[in-house]
Amino acid sequence: DTLILTGCTTSGCLRATAVDAYSYNFKVVIPEETAFDRFQASHAINLFDLNCKYADVIPSAEVQDYLGGLAVRDDLPTGVSG
């Protein structure tokens, strides 16, 4: 399973969620333009560290391309997503 994380604060909530998700064996992806921190240095350092250890920090365009390329499942019962 994969978790795509967005939001703020990079050095706080986003980092804590990424580390927790990684510890539960989720693949973690962070679209780099969708994260924010009050201080640019904290933001850059945390994205660098997360990318090295816990997550794939990639451009949001790559995430959009990946999601756009997923096949739509029409074999599921009504009300169930896949």
Q: Which residues are catalytic?
A: 13
Q: Which one, of 36, 32, 35, lies nearest residue 63 by Cα?
A: 32
Q: 3-state DSSP call for residue 11?
A: helix
> Of 51, 31, 39, which is closest to residue 9 (Cα–Cα)?
39
Structure token pair of residue 15 = 């980092």
